[in-house]
Structure 1
Amino acid sequence: MDNVASLMHGFSVAISFHHIALMIAGVLLGILVGVLPGLGAPNGVSLMLPLTFSMDPVSAIILLTSLYWGALFGGSTTSILFNIPGEPSSVATTFDGHPMAKQGKATEALSLAFLSAGFGALAGVILITVLSSWVAGFALRFSSPEFFAVYFITFASFIGLGGASPFKTIVAMCVGFSLASIGMDTVSGSVRLTFGFDVLLAGVSFLIAVIGLFGVGELLLTMEDGLSFRGIAAKVRLGDVLRTAAKLPRYWLALLRSAAIGIWMGITPGGPTAASFLSYAMAKRSSRNPEKFGKGEPEGVISPETADHAAGSAAMLPMLALGIPGSATAAVMMGGLMIWGLNPGPTLFTDRPDFVWGLIASMYLGNIVAVITVLATVPLFASILRIPFSIIGPLIIVVCFIGAYTVAGKPFDLWIALAFGIVGYAFKKLDYPIAPMILAMVIGDKAEDAFRQSMIFSQGSLSIFWSNALVSTLMGIGLMLLFMPLIGATIRRMRGQAVSRTA
């Protein structure tokens, strides 16, 4: 009941003409970010962050979360009409969405995608509403050893559950840790890894890193692919949307299953991309007609879209309640909270309840606004992709560098953004994950501070991480996740040996 009362207070904060206008503006910008190749939700949010510095935190986070929802919807639009995933998490939507569009069912495919995405997002927000206060209250029992154990679980889960090569994930994290340690040490006050460059005394801004990694890096890949846009025209009519909505309940099992997968992958660091692929695979495996998948099966659109948006919403729970981002976009938003002077974690619920519950309430409203807005603007944003890439590409580069310069007004930051663009390009070409690197940059220094404070308390003894039942349990979970790839490989090897013996 306390959560319901807090949510009602949140609605009183979120429902205003100013905030509704920000939601619409954020969704429209997000759709543009999702539609344009070379941009994505993390980069779009990072480009908008400097513009929010003069806004109050509630308005700023409403704008950014609405942009995030819009970017996810924009990626779905291009996946279905052009067979071009505007977001990595929209790749699975192309498998059946574009075949449906080629069969003359573009309106049905878009309506299924947007309505199921709204359902998934709503499921994620309900979870946040129900669990956020409990998680935050539980986390108030934490001291520095427990916080380090939680950070350790986060890093270990990226290795054990992230889907990428564990070795490559560790390398990406180590790069992020190194970048996070540049500048002034918060504990000793000494200067680290500046190599004589005074401009690095304040460290490397994660915003500039994200702009380079996701903006410039993705654009370099797009240029290399020689992307050409040949899409299918679509005009969404209200009657078609209502007829498609009437069909949606028959897919209730796929909706619930995909929402559960998305919520789990959002809370853990699997993220929307892994959630959409896993949900698609589960839908195909459990279908009575798996041969229809890839040929325009409606469930092949519903499943990845529901999981994608459920994961995007649920990723906000660990970010708000524990100060641990569950996705790359959540990591960027968490950086924004710190820039605005807010400290993500359990104390945020007691220090700024208006902010927390205003944000949660705005997530309900923002997703409704996003579904309505994206259905109304599909033809407009689809037409943008008919502009030659030779015009769009340079415009994206200009926007990225303007965003990088706006962060601190330093010309040197433009070179840093360019360097990160080359790193992002290399990471993508070599199949190294970028999200663990961003995560390490955002919370690496916090994990280091928690570890060093724990060592000071225990006079250098690692036994402090096993000093009580709570921290021991957390560390045990972290170690299990860390060694999960080895455990899985050992089990598969033993099964293979058992099969060879019986054969």
Structure 2
Amino acid sequence: MENLESLLHGFTIAVTVPHLTLMVIGVLLGILVGVLPGLGAPNGVSLLLPLTFGMQPVSAIILLSSMYWGALFGGSVTSILFNIPGEPSSVATTFDGYPMARDGRPTTALATAFGSAAFGALVGVILITFLASWVAQVALAFGPPEYFAVYFLAFASFVGMGGAAPIKTVVALAIGFAIAAIGIDTVSGSVRLTMGIDELVKGVSFVVAVMGLFGIGELLIAVEEEFSARAVSSRVDWKEVFRALGRLPHHGIALLRSAAIGCWMGITPGGPTAASFMSYGIAKRFSRNGARFGTGEAEGIVAPETADHAAGTSALLPMLSLGIPGSATAAVMMGGLMIWGLNPGPMLFVDQKDFVWGLIASMYVGNIVAVALVLLTVPVFAALMRIPFAVIAPLIVIICVVGAYSVSNSYLDVVLMLGFGVVGYLFKKLHYPLAPLVLAIVIGDKAEDAFRQAMLMSKGSLGIFFANRLVTTLVLAGIALLLLPLALQIVRLLRKPDVSAQEKVRII
């Protein structure tokens, strides 16, 4: 009941003319970011972040979150109309979305995707509404050992459930930890890993890092692959929109199952991309029309879109309640909170109620605004895909350079941003995950501080991480996730048929 009262108070903050205007602007910018190849939600939010430094935190987070919703929807537009996923999490949507659009049903495909996405986002927001305060209250009892255990669980979740090869995830995390360690050691006050460059004393800005990793890195990939858009009709038939939305309840089981998968993968560091692929695979396996997946089946659109948006929304729950982002974009937003002078975690619900509940209320309104605007602007943004990529690419570079320089008016940040662009390119080419790298850059120093404080409290004894039921459970869960890939590999080896034995049987 208290949460509902707080939510109603949040609506009085979110539903004002200035904030509704920011939602519209944010959603339009987000759709643009999602539609254009080479950009994405993490990079779009990081590019917009410097513009929010002079804004009130509530207004700033509403603008950034609205851009996030718009980017998720924009990625679906290009996936369906052009077979080009504007977002990594929209890749699974292309499997059935583009075939349906190519068969002369683009409106049906778009309406199905947006309706499913809105449902998934709504489930994610409801989850945040009713669980955020509870999670925050539990977290108030946390000390350094508990916080380190939570960080350890987050890192271990990427290894055990991230979808990439475990060793590659560990390498990405290690690189992120090394980058996070650059600058002043907050415990001892000593300077480390600056390599004699005085400007590195302040550390590496996460904004610079994500603009390079996601902006320049994706751009280099796009240039190499030489994007060529094959557009289909982008005209919206409103009668077909309502007919497609009316057919969504027939996919009720897929909607609920995909929303559950998305929320779980959002709260854990699986992320929207893993959630969309997992949901699509499970839907294909259990659907009565599984054999038709890949040919324009509606359920093949419903499953990934619902999971994608449920994961993208619920990823903000651990970021707000525990200070642990559930996705790369949530990590960028968390960095924004720190820049605005807010400390993500349980005390945020005590000290900044207006901020938290204003944000949660804006999620409800922002998703409605996003659905309406994306349907209205599909023809406009589809036309942008006909602009030559040779024109779009330099604009992306200019935006990234200006954004990096504006962080602290330093040319070193521009150089670092370009360097991170090369790293992002190499990560993509070698199939290394970027999300663990971003996570380690954002909270690596926090995890280190919590560990060292716990060691000071226990005088160097690791037994402090097994001192009570809560911290023991978290640590054991983290260890289990670390060992999960190894256990699955052993199971696969045990189930593998004995080829030599089978050959002997054939010979006999």
With normalisation by structure 1, the TM-score equals: 0.99
| In structure 2, C-alpha distance between the alignment counterparts of 1:130 and 1:500, rounded to whole Å | 56
Letter of the 2:230 counterpart: R
Residue matched to 1:480 = 480
| In structure 2, C-alpha distance between the alignment counterparts of 1:230 and 1:34, rounded to whole Å | 17
CA deviation digits over 1:220-264, x for unaligned, max 9? 000000111221121113222111111111111111111111001
CA deviation digits over 1:165-186, x for unaligned, max 9? 1100000000000000001111
Residue matched to 1:327 = 327
Deviation at 1:499, TM superposition (A): 10
- Unpaired segments ≥5 residues, structure 2: none
Deviation at 1:493, TM superposition (A): 2.1
- Given that 1:230 and 1:386 are in contact with CA atoms closer than 8 Å, whether structure 2 keeps it comes out as no
- Unpaired segments ≥5 residues, structure 1: none
CA deviation digits over 1:314-367, x for unaligned, max 9? 100000000000000000000000000000000100010110011000000000
| In structure 2, C-alpha distance between the alignment counterparts of 1:237 and 1:123, rounded to whole Å | 27
Residue 71 (structure 2) pairs with residue 71 (structure 1): yes
Residue matched to 1:416 = 416
Superposition pairs for residues 39-50 of structure 1, below 5 Å? 39-50=39-50
Residue 219 (structure 2) pairs with residue 219 (structure 1): yes
Residue matched to 1:191 = 191
SS in 1 for 2:202: coil
- Given that 1:43 and 1:215 are in contact with CA atoms closer than 8 Å, whether structure 2 keeps it comes out as yes
Runs of at least 4 residues off by over 6 Å? 497-503
Deviation at 1:491, TM superposition (A): 1.9
Residue matched to 2:385 = 385
Residue matched to 1:234 = 234
Superposition pairs for residues 362-441 of structure 1, below 5 Å? 362-441=362-441
Residue 491 (structure 2) pairs with residue 491 (structure 1): yes
Deviates most, 488-497 or 322-331: 488-497
Residue matched to 1:155 = 155
| In structure 1, C-alpha distance between the alignment counterparts of 2:279 and 2:236, rounded to whole Å | 26
SS in 1 for 2:203: coil
| In structure 2, C-alpha distance between the alignment counterparts of 1:383 and 1:437, rounded to whole Å | 35
Deviation at 1:495, TM superposition (A): 2.7
Could you say if the C-alpha distance between residues 500 and 458 of structure 1 is closer, same or farther in structure 2, counting changes exceeding 3 Å?
A: farther
Q: Count matched residues.
A: 503
Deviates most, 483-492 or 63-72: 483-492
CA deviation digits over 1:266-318, x for unaligned, max 9? 01111000010011111110111222111110111111000000000010000
| In structure 2, C-alpha distance between the alignment counterparts of 1:157 and 1:251, rounded to whole Å | 30
Superposition pairs for residues 29-428 of structure 1, below 5 Å? 29-428=29-428
Superposition pairs for residues 10-21 of structure 1, below 5 Å? 10-21=10-21
| In structure 2, C-alpha distance between the alignment counterparts of 1:297 and 1:497, rounded to whole Å | 35
Residue matched to 1:465 = 465
Deviation at 1:117, TM superposition (A): 0.3
- Given that 1:212 and 1:424 are in contact with CA atoms closer than 8 Å, whether structure 2 keeps it comes out as yes
| In structure 2, C-alpha distance between the alignment counterparts of 1:26 and 1:346, rounded to whole Å | 27
- Given that 1:319 and 1:325 are in contact with CA atoms closer than 8 Å, whether structure 2 keeps it comes out as yes
| In structure 2, C-alpha distance between the alignment counterparts of 1:182 and 1:330, rounded to whole Å | 22
SS in 2 for 1:278: helix
Could you say if the C-alpha distance between residues 500 and 156 of structure 1 is closer, same or farther in structure 2, counting changes exceeding 3 Å?
A: farther
| In structure 2, C-alpha distance between the alignment counterparts of 1:86 and 1:255, rounded to whole Å | 23
Deviation at 1:498, TM superposition (A): 8.8
Seq. identity, %: 66
SS in 1 for 2:90: helix
| In structure 2, C-alpha distance between the alignment counterparts of 1:438 and 1:192, rounded to whole Å | 20
| In structure 1, C-alpha distance between the alignment counterparts of 2:18 and 2:172, rounded to whole Å | 40
Deviation at 1:492, TM superposition (A): 2.0
